[in-house]
A and B are shown apart, each in its own frame.
Chain A
Amino acid sequence: MLKDSKKYAIEIDGILYYLSGNKLEQIVELNDIEGDKWFISDMQEAITRTMTIEAPVKYAEIMVRKKLQESGEFAEPVSIITHWKKKKGKNTTDIFFTALPTRLFYRYSEQIREHEDSVILFPLFTVLYHALKHMRPRNPVAIVFQHSRFADLIIGTKKRVYYANRCVAFDTSEEQISSLWDMVRTDIKTIESENRIKVERVLFLNWIDSGMEPAWGEDMENKFYSFEEEAIVFNEKEYHLSFLRSIRMLSGVKGIASRTEKTLYYTQKWAPYINALFLLTGLLLLGGFFWYNQKLDLLQKDLIALEGKKASIQMRVKQEIPQIDYKDTFSFVKDLASYQRAPSYKKVVNDISAALSSDMKVDILKMDYSRNDMMIEIFGKVKAPFGMAYKGYQIFIKTLTQKGYIVKESRFNTEISNSEFFITFTKRI
């Protein structure tokens, strides 16, 4: 869809054509085409060559320019358009270029610059080189574009260009065209022998004035193919042109134009899509806005509800619990309960008396009460032999322990016939 929308200006053999869709028409000047366009030109007076230069890659163009001027091919300043170059040795570079007088190059540049719309210029051999690259052949192939009395020839693989040249006949008579193709064959054979390569295929590109497809000699080892053709209408007559197919393979990046020009061209070309994208994104964002607003409304409701809940709880939490003076009464009741629970003096004395054996005499008995417990200290003597005395002492402790008294300290000293004991008990109240 994008390819179809492109406008092409094609300048071949000094005639300017306008190609739009499948319609070709002759025009007078570039300004006859409105809008952005690609301008393909064979740039008359230009020559296209391959060369091996004794110079680093960086300076290859300077050396080419010098060589061309020294050889007398150009008697005026020359501009080089490099299609491809590759470092061959330490100080050697292979280069494939189109050279044209600088004044002509400036004329084209000026024409492009002065044009209202964006124009990207493609030398004819750029189209051929691109077709070669597009095919990506592993073994060498030749592409021949025959138009009028010219045959533009390029031989190469996907990685290297071996040869490029324009073969010229005196006129377009059948005889001359036949000798033009002989020239092409000779060139191919020469390159094959010079580079020790075998050109597997020869691909033919035709134009409206190419005439019939040439008879490729049966003695030739190369296979002859015609490029895929495209039907177009020119002067109300239908033509099947394969050159147009190669034009469709072009990429704008390889064209000659300033970076700004290219940027403008692509910006204008993609503007509707970018706008559509922005519009779509804008619509999505707008949708997002409404969606978030809806969510926001729900959140606001939750927020208000939570605020209300918080306020009501805060009100309740702030309410102070009425304090009443309970401490004195509570303490007094606790005291009374403590007195109620505390074993009386008499009960403790009775417990102790009941636990004492007949030989045991208490000398000192002390009872001290506090709110939660009581402490008893008993000091006494046993007038009996040790065995009996100690047994009585143990029974005494055991009896009181069973009644809830806890032994805190106990001492028993004996003089065999007399013994002394000291015990401290506690009891919880």
Chain B
Amino acid sequence: MIFFFIAAHFFLTAYNKYILSQEKIKVLNRQVQLLIKQQRELERKERIMVRVNRFINRARSLGLEKDRWAYYDVNIQEPVSFQEAEKILTQTANSSSYYFKPVTLHVKTKIESDKKSKQNKPPSTSADSPETKEGDILLTLRGGFLVKQR
């Protein structure tokens, strides 16, 4: 009888430990799976960062950094003839040595009738105001030239 109880005690202890270990392994397996997922995500991020680094290094080697470029603002608002307008527009484009940043272009062609209506009004105080200059169109142009500094 004593032998039975001792054997039962040892058996139950071993069985409990076994069940406990199985549970531990289940939990650990889940944790490891989660960590493997995190690791994969990390590796993906690393790969992206390597590509970003390569890109940035390449951009830097090509001088594509803001502080190495000069920006020249363009702001025109005046009546111009068609020939003048064409010249201006021809220049506001990218070239091999600079970029042009287009922002706004407003063109108003009916300034004749406006001028007639404004002749009855007293003259403007500013000599440079668009109304004082004659032209085919009223051109409003905003943008900027971006030039790489040597």
Contact = CB atoms under 8 A, between A and B. Distances in A.
A344 B100 contact: yes
Contacts of A233: none
B25 interface: yes
Contacts of A326: 52-53, 55-56
A278 B4 contact: yes
Interface in B70-113: 86, 89-90, 92-94, 99-110
A306 B106 CA distance: 70
Contacts of A344: 89, 92-94, 100, 102
Contacts of A319: 42
Interface string A310-322: 1001101101011
A296 B21 contact: yes
A278 B101 CA distance: 96
A307 B46 contact: no
Contacts, number: 169
Interface string B34-59: 01101100100110010011011001
A333 B59 contact: yes
A388 interface: no
A302 B29 CA distance: 10
B64 A329 contact: yes
B10 A366 contact: no
A297 to B, nearest CB: 10
Contact of A345 (B22, B31, B141): B141
A354 interface: no
Nearest to B19: A292
Contact of B106 (A278, A348, A364): A364
In this complex, the interface size class of chain A, counting residues with CB under 8 Å from chain B, is 35 or more
A361 B109 contact: yes
B143 to A, nearest CB: 8
A194 to B, nearest CB: 58
Contact of B31 (A310, A339, A367): A310
Contacts of A310: 28, 31-32, 35
B28 A285 contact: no
A369 B106 contact: no
Contact of A329 (B56, B99, B105, B110): B56
Interface string A341-378: 01011111100000000000111111111000010000
Given A303-B25, A344-B100, A316 B42 contact: yes
Contacts of B45: 321
A288 interface: yes
Contacts of A267: none
Contacts of B32: 306, 309-310, 313
Contacts of B94: 339-340, 344
A366 B108 CA distance: 9
Contacts of B21: 296, 299-300, 303
Interface of B: 1, 3-4, 6-8, 10-11, 13-15, 17-18, 21-22, 24-25, 28-29, 31-32, 35-36, 38-39, 42, 45-46, 49, 52-53, 55-56, 59-60, 64-66, 69, 86, 89-90, 92-94, 99-110, 141, 146
23 contacts: A285-B8, A300-B21, A306-B28, A309-B32, A313-B35, A313-B38, A317-B39, A322-B49, A324-B56, A329-B59, A330-B56, A332-B66, A333-B59, A336-B146, A339-B101, A339-B146, A344-B102, A346-B86, A349-B89, A362-B107, A363-B108, A363-B110, A365-B108
Interface of A: 275, 278-279, 281-283, 285-286, 288-289, 292-293, 295-296, 299-300, 302-303, 306-307, 309-310, 313-314, 316-317, 319, 321-324, 326, 328-330, 332-333, 335-336, 339-340, 342, 344-349, 361-369, 374
